């Protein structure tokens, strides 16, 4: 019974990492990428997302609660995981270890990012717009903090896609898992470009 419950929680953890958290991540990166086309375009895109009907309910039930569950169980997995990278130097073992490490980095980054943006808006201290992100990324430390945070988050998602496909029995053969690995690498590279390119625009205007 305990094994079935553990499998259920891990499958739910994996599912929430893709739906809805992963979908939100991709959407968030695409909306932010509008900064490449200028301040007005970004503010228009961000304003559209900020004025969605029932926004607070969407944020709570589609973003924050799934992230909370995913994060709590993820931290538990990270600190109870059996890391074999020194004994078994295989690619997947390294990916397993990096998945747990980037999960912790992602959690720290998300908490800080939400504090600087959504919480400050809720407190009436700022508006979530181009100027806010420009100000946040105005120092080299914060710029590189965001670069590391964004890349870690995207890696965690892309590698998590591979884990999701295996956990749910979609990729069962070595060949299908190898193809999924290539797909995860492509997702990581494309989204990393989108995310880092956006940060460079906010920080340096280029």
Model pLDDT for residues 154-179, shown as the tens digit of each residue: 999 999 999 999 999 999 999 999 99
Q: Over 60: is that where the pLDDT of 87 sits? A: no
Q: Over 80: is that where the pLDDT of 2 sits? A: no
pTM of the predicted model over 0.85 = yes
Q: Over 80: is that where the pLDDT of 84 sits? A: no
CATH of the domain at 7: 1.20.1300.10
| Structure confidence at residue 187 as a pLDDT band (50, 70, 90) | very high
Mean model confidence pLDDT for the chain: 93
Instruction: Judge contact between 147 and 173, C-beta under 8 A.
Output: no
Cα separation, 172 vs 62, whole angstroms: 30
The answer for residues whose C-beta is within 8 angstroms of residue 199's C-beta and 6 or more apart is 137, 143, 146, 147, 150
Cα separation, 15 vs 25, whole angstroms: 14
| Structure confidence at residue 89 as a pLDDT band (50, 70, 90) | low
Number of domains in the chain: 1
Model pLDDT for residues 10-57, shown as the tens digit of each residue: 999 999 999 999 999 999 999 999 999 999 999 999 999 988 898 889
The stretch 84-103 carries a mean pLDDT of 80
Q: Residue 133 has what pLDDT?
A: 97
Q: Residue 3 has what pLDDT?
A: 73
Q: Residue 33 has what pLDDT?
A: 98
| Structure confidence at residue 77 as a pLDDT band (50, 70, 90) | confident
Least confident of 78-82, 92-96, 190-194: 78-82
Q: Residue 20 has what pLDDT?
A: 96
Give me the domain span that covers residue 196.
Answer: 2-204
Q: Give the CA-trace dihedral at 165, 171, 175, 177, to 10 degrees.
A: 20
């Amino acid at each position: 019974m305990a094994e079935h419950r553990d499998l259920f929680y891990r499958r739910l953890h994996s599912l929430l990492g893709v739906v809805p958290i992963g979908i939100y991540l991709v959407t968030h990166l695409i909306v932010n990428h509008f900064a490449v086309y200028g301040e007005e375009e970004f503010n228009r895109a961000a304003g559209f997302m900020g004025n969605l009907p029932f926004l607070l309910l969407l944020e709570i039930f589609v973003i924050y609660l799934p992230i909370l569950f995913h994060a709590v169980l993820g931290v538990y997995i990270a600190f109870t995981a059996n890391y074999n990278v020194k004994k078994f130097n295989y690619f997947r073992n390294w990916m397993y270890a990096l998945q747990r490490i980037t999960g912790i980095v992602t959690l720290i980054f998300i908490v800080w990012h939400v504090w600087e943006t959504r919480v400050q808006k809720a407190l009436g201290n700022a508006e979530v717009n181009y100027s806010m992100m420009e100000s946040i990324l105005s120092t080299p430390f914060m710029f590189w903090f965001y670069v590391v945070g964004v890349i870690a988050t995207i890696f965690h998602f892309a590698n998590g896609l591979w884990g999701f496909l295996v956990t749910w029995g979609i990729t069962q053969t070595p060949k299908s898992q190898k193809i999924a690995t290539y797909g995860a690498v492509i997702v990581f590279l494309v989204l990393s470009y989108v995310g880092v390119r956006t940060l460079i625009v906010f920080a340096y205007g280029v």
